[in-house]
Amino acid sequence: MHGGPMGRFGGDVDTLRAKNADAPKIPNLGKRIAELFKPHKGPLGLTIGLILISASLSIIPPLLIQEAFNQGLFPTHGSPDIGLLTTIVWIMIGIYVVNGLLGIAQTYLTSRVGNKVMGALRVKLFDHLQSMELAFFTKTKTGVIQSRLQNDVGGVASVLSNTVSTVVGNSVTVLAAIVAMLILSWQLTIVAMILLPLMVLLQRKVGRLRGKIAAKTQESLSEMSAITQEALGVSGILLAKSFGRAQEEVNRYANENQNQINLQVRQTMSGQGFFTMVQIFLSSIPAVIYLVAGYLITNNALLTAGTVVAFTTAQSRLMFPMMGLMQIALDLQTSSALFARIFEYLDLNPAIKDPERPKKIAKKDLGKIRFDNVTFAYPESGDEAEPTLKGISFEIEPNQYAAFVGPSGSGKTTMVYLIPRFYDTTEGTISFGGVDVKDLTHADLTANIGIVNQETYLFYDTIRANIAYAKPKAKQSEIEKAAKAANIHETIMSFPKGYDTLVGERGYRLSGGEKQRIAIARVLLKNPPVVILDEATSAMDTMSERIVQETLDSAITGRTTIAIAHRLSTVVQADVIFVVRKGRIVEQGSHKQLMAKQGLYYKMVSEQTKVKK
């Protein structure tokens, strides 16, 4: 089946962007991030309440320190007041204990909310990707999609978990510290805060730079995931070993890994100089405060030693909250690139959607399929590309056995993939059960159609689970009945663990014929009124093919069957055979009728007969 350009030769969107583009532009990004927290208003409100209490308590210690100096240690008259100092110490210890307990509660609540938001976002993204049309997956690397789910969503985890508590907590702490500083000395407060606007401007510039680097970093991670998925999958390993290209695959991964290292170092260092500057500034302020205090006292300002010590204590409480706020601001700007990538996928509109007012199929028409002047071109092929199908018209009646044959690349698989609406027609209409497929829900279509693909896919699970995928609540007796119908039951029972045998990655522990028969059993368990067999016996040896073909001939009785066949001997009994060539139906009729015409079908049968001889 035709697919869009991709892989190491191609141009899926993410690979191209990784080389020369920043994060996608998403309108109202901040608002959309905030909306993720809406379902968690209760825990968030409680968290903010605890933060406000904690931050309010933090304003008290600097004022107590002033009291301890002025009235406890160095009173105007007499010796230190031990009783007062004892009371102040116990109050301060109590405040620190309460704040510590409040901090534990805050951490638990924010971690729980953050991880719930992240989990919901990941499920929402996975669910949305499930709704995308097949064309999206044929032109996008699997590793890239995995990276969006794992690296991008995981990359915003700390922001989701810590943003609310950090912003609210540090903001209130900073505000409380500034209030305490103003109470102690408005002159020293001006000195302490004079360069903060410059810090904020620098932070914004650094944040924008880190956001761009973060976008490139995530694109590089996507490419690494894609390389890993391609090269370390069973098929990729087998291909590399077959052609002796293992070292080239290692080099490809190593090159992208080096790019990732460079980007990570750039991202780290892009903020290091800024934070060093902020730390120097905040650490130097106490020394400047002492100097300014000296000038103020010299000029008869009402400053006591206790006031100066209390002020520097309050000012020192600004350092970590200010650093935290600037760090979270940088993290938000950096993570905005990740959020933009996530929302970019969430904003993708599936090209194939369920109708707003779906219709139902009448039971008497189940299995009736009609193509009316259908033309189809793959979306990723471009406007100039030759259509894969051109003006196709035919009709299949309920319970009829129809076969499509023709040279490779003629459009046979494409044609049958239009029936369950994996793609939409470019022109013309397709009806299923007398209803346009565009007026049916995807669930209604798939419930009535079973497909055995040419490329059999089995999950890394037991044989039982792979067969039961078609009907998760099926009884063991039903699973065995389907396996017997596909002539695989005895083979399964010959394995030491029987139906509990693990099939391995993509079923590689089984032979091609065994995999195909398990896939056939899966469809037979579903028991749909329409069965599509896309080269269903292509992976079998001659004996297995004959046995399974006999089984299929029996199993398809009473249902509409559409078979795509390369071996023409398997479709001799078909009620109608459609011969497809270059996207058009050039002949149709029974085997006997087509042989009598001595056209393309006759030539194909003759060639295969010669080869067999």
Q: pLDDT tens-digit profile of 549-601?
A: 666 666 677 789 998 888 787 788 889 999 999 999 999 999 999 999 999 99
In the prediction, which pLDDT does 402 show? 93
Identify the band that residue 382 occupies on the pLDDT scale cut at 50, 70 and 90.
low
Contact present, 217 and 260 (Cβ < 8 Å): yes
**Residue recorded with tokens 């106490």:** 286
Sign of the C-alpha dihedral, residues 430, 432, 436, 441? negative
**399 backbone φψ class: left, alpha, beta (φ>0; ψ -120 to 50):** left
* Closest to 215 measured CA to CA, from 254, 274, 266: 266
Contact present, 131 and 61 (Cβ < 8 Å): no
Each residue's pLDDT tens digit, 386-409: 889 999 999 999 989 999 998 888
Sign of the C-alpha dihedral, residues 58, 62, 63, 65? positive
Each residue's pLDDT tens digit, 205-253: 776 777 677 778 777 877 877 777 677 666 666 666 666 777 877 888 8
- Quick one: tokens of 59? 């304003």
Res 547 pLDDT > 50: yes
DSSP letter (8 states) at residue 152? I
- Quick one: tokens of 28? 């109202």
- SS3 string, 25-43, reads CCCCHHHHHHHCCHHHHHH
Identify the band that residue 129 occupies on the pLDDT scale cut at 50, 70 and 90.
confident
Identify the band that residue 477 occupies on the pLDDT scale cut at 50, 70 and 90.
very high
- Quick one: tokens of 269? 């260092």
Identify the band that residue 381 occupies on the pLDDT scale cut at 50, 70 and 90.
low
Dist CA 95 CA 210 (whole Å): 38
The answer to which of 36-40, 171-175, 340-344, 545-549 has the lowest mean pLDDT is: 545-549
Q: pLDDT > 90: what percent of the chain?
A: 15
Each residue's pLDDT tens digit, 4-53: 333 343 344 444 344 444 556 777 777 888 888 888 888 888 888 887 78
Average per-residue pLDDT in the chain? Answer: 80
Each residue's pLDDT tens digit, 421-459: 988 999 999 999 889 999 999 888 888 988 888 777 888
Q: Which residues pair with 585 in a beta bridge?
A: 580
Specify the pairing of strand 401-405 against strand 560-564: parallel
In the prediction, which pLDDT does 612 show? 53
Contact present, 411 and 583 (Cβ < 8 Å): yes
Res 518 pLDDT > 70: yes
Contact present, 252 and 227 (Cβ < 8 Å): yes
Burial class (CB in 10 A: 0-12, 13-18, 19+), 495: middle
Dist CA 491 CA 72 (whole Å): 91
CATH topology of domain 28-346: ABC transporter transmembrane region fold (1.20.1560)
CA angle (524, 530, 533) in 5-degree steps: 70
* Closest to 584 measured CA to CA, from 451, 414, 421, 454: 414
DSSP letters along 309-369, please? HHHHHHHHHHHHHHHHHHHHHHHHHHHHHHHHHHHHHHTPPPSS---SS-----GGGTT-E
* Range with top average pLDDT, 163-177, 301-315, 321-335, 367-381: 367-381
Each residue's pLDDT tens digit, 53-96: 887 787 788 778 878 877 877 777 777 788 888 888 899 899 88
Res 324 pLDDT > 90: no
Dist CA 567 CA 538 (whole Å): 8
Question: How distant, in Å, are the alpha carbons of 109, 201, 204, 509, 522 from that of 195?
Answer: 35, 10, 15, 68, 70
- Quick one: tokens of 54? 């904690």
In the prediction, which pLDDT does 8 show? 42
Question: How distant, in Å, are the alpha carbons of 596, 606, 607, 609, 610 from that of 613?
Answer: 22, 11, 10, 6, 5
In the prediction, which pLDDT does 373 show? 95
Compute the 3-state secondary structure of the chain and give helix, strand, coil in percent, each to the nearest 5: 65, 10, 25
**Residue recorded with tokens 């309460």:** 98
Dist CA 210 CA 261 (whole Å): 15
In the prediction, which pLDDT does 105 show? 87
